[in-house]
Amino acid sequence: QQRSLVANLSAAIKYDHTHVLDPENWKLIQHARVVYSAGFFVAVSPKAIEMVSDKCVETGALYCMNVAANYIVEVPDFKKVVLETLPKIDILFGNEIEAKALAKALEWDADMSVPEIAVKLAELPMAEGKNRGRKVVITQGPLETYIANTGRPVAAYDIISIEDKDIVDTNAAGDAYVGGFLAGILKNCDDQMCAAAGAYAAWEHFLFPTSMSIFGEVTSDSTWLIAIAVLLGLAVLIEQVLYDTFYKKIANYRTGEMRRKIVPAKFNAHPHALQGLLPELSSASPLKGTAGLYSLKSTGDKIFWETFVPTGVAHPKGVIVLCHGYADHSGFHMFNDARMFCEKEKYACVLFDQVGSGRSDGLQAYVDDWFKYCQLAKEFIDEFVLGSFVPSLAERSQHLPFYGYGHSMGGGLVASLSILHPTLFDGIILQSPMLKIPQSMHPSWIVEELLRGLARVAPKAPIVPTKNLGEVMYHHKDAVHYSAKYNLLVYRGKPRLRTALSLLQGQDFVSANFKSVTTPFIVCHGAADEITDPHADVELYNESPVQSKSRVCLYPGLRHYITGMQEPEETQKVFNDMFDWIDNRTEEVNKENKQE
């Protein structure tokens, strides 16, 4: 009923293809009948994929792959590896969403059904020496599984139905299905028996996930592990009761509906303009703004948004969508950043509160999974920003350069979207982005491992030990008191267990894929930042293929938040760098569009 995981999500990033070449490991591959690769290895060690799949062609072993995630076939570098490997894959696994993503990567008809995709994948050419044809297995959660074989009709096989109330754990159920299916393959079973074995393994995992214990059989020697788990679970429950009892203000901010009632939406969300840089908002202010709620089609969550359109010009220079940081929302820091771009530079701006933040729906400051979080942001951008807001400006300009702007976690979000969807933005502006989290912000390794275990029991518990972010956020200490007084919708609790792990998942993904950032960028970062790592900006620049169109600007003495709460000339310097870059990039984009 709750997604649970006891694993180091970044462990695979440390994998190197030389591990395959270890004599003992290579001997296993040489003599294997079946070799199975999770699709995640495409992102981590394509060399290992190539070596092992080539060896299977040579030895005649079955080579099997699980697509595993949409981004494996959406990120250009990863997609290239998958498409090059496909001719060597004897059995291809995936769910219906991954199958449609692969079909899109192959530029097939978007209206193809899952069975049609399965058949077409099975009919793709095999590598020379592969004479047995391909088997494609597409699962659909609680629905039937489709299996297609080269030259044969597709067939549907039932799974074992389970009532929702009986489900203990859904995490890794797909992997359990594959395990059961391959067990049937090793016993030379037909498709019907293999599908039945896969369905049974998934059913067993749904109901009894602990039966496959990493500790083996529970004995008197291991009962202390159970005792620790029970005590930690009780500690979480006690902490949660105290949290609800003594921090009513935080507790009452849990849902979007509560937050919207407590802090009603106002156009003038920030009480004061940037000192010396912006006028106070008034009826004469050169800013046209609207606000509202948009319901995501996939989840029904209501997303709070604000749009600003510059006045006094025939059309805006471009459109910027701004993404706030962890625990924050769009109505404080981002609000004045949007005003600067709109009033000073004449760009139309879109602000929105991400799920679980500000006036949007969702448990406050809860991020269940980084890639799901990215997908919800992408859905809002596709449906509302590009589907509604930008077309409303089309009468004044047929094409407007489109930019992503993100601060801190929002910077990590924008960077992730640019990796997962390389053509989404014409450029990205990253302010103190979450590319890597400094080691000083991590708990000790033993505490981190305990937290990973606790996240299985209480993923939403706000008990992750961290520094007080407010104390290291601003250049001037008095800004902490100002923010505490006026930033009413900021989350003030400790990070939630699953949120902390999801943020680590995000930074691991971004930092492992710097070379896949093909969207021109500017990074502006305080050199004294203790929350996100300024050194990672330089790593991004050095590894990115778009250096000639990108910039990294580091500001000595400034900390995590660098577009306000400091001396006006310091803030103006940051904005000047951003303005220079975006205007140059807009000129480039307009030239490129004219050439097309």
Q: List residues with catalytic annotation.
A: 175
- Residue 332 has what DSSP assignment? T
Q: Beta strands 348-352 and 319-323: pairing type? A: parallel
C-alpha–C-alpha distance, residues 534 and 576, integer Å: 19
Give kind and range of the element (H or E) at residue 295. strand 287-295
CB-CB contact of 168 with 207 (8 Å): yes
* Strand ranges, E, within 302-449: 302-310, 319-323, 348-352, 402-407, 427-431
> Three-state SS string across 498-545, please?
HHHHHHHHHHHHHHCCHHHCCCCEEEEEECCCCCCCCHHHHHHHHHCC
Kindly list the distances between the CA atom of residue 106 and the CA atoms of 40, 92, 111, in Å, as whole numbers in the listed order.
19, 15, 13
CB-CB contact of 135 with 141 (8 Å): no
Kindly list the distances between the CA atom of residue 202 and the CA atoms of 7, 167, 198, in Å, as whole numbers in the listed order.
19, 11, 6
Structure tokens at 234: 């009780």
- Residue 110 has what DSSP assignment? T
CB-CB contact of 427 with 519 (8 Å): yes
SS3 content of the chain, % helix, strand, coil (to 5): 45, 15, 40
Our measurement of the distance from residue 362's CA atom to the centroid of its chain's CA atoms, rounded to an integer in Å, reads 17
Sheet holding 135-140: strands in order across? 34-38, 62-66, 91-95, 135-140, 143-149, 155-157
Residue with tokens 């440390």: 14
Phi/psi class of residue 582: alpha, beta or left (left: φ > 0; alpha: ψ in -120 to 50)?
Answer: alpha
Count Cα neighbours of 44 within 13 Å in the Cβ-side half-sphere.
Answer: 18
Structure tokens at 560: 């995590």
Cβ neighbours of residue 395 closer than 8 Å, sequence gap 6 or more: none
Q: Residue 434 is which amino acid?
A: M
Computed over its alpha carbons, how large is the radius of gyration of the chain? 26
- Residue 221 has what DSSP assignment? G
Query: Exposed (0-12), middle (13-18) or buried (19+): which is 207, by Cβ within 10 Å?
Result: middle
CB-CB contact of 462 with 456 (8 Å): no
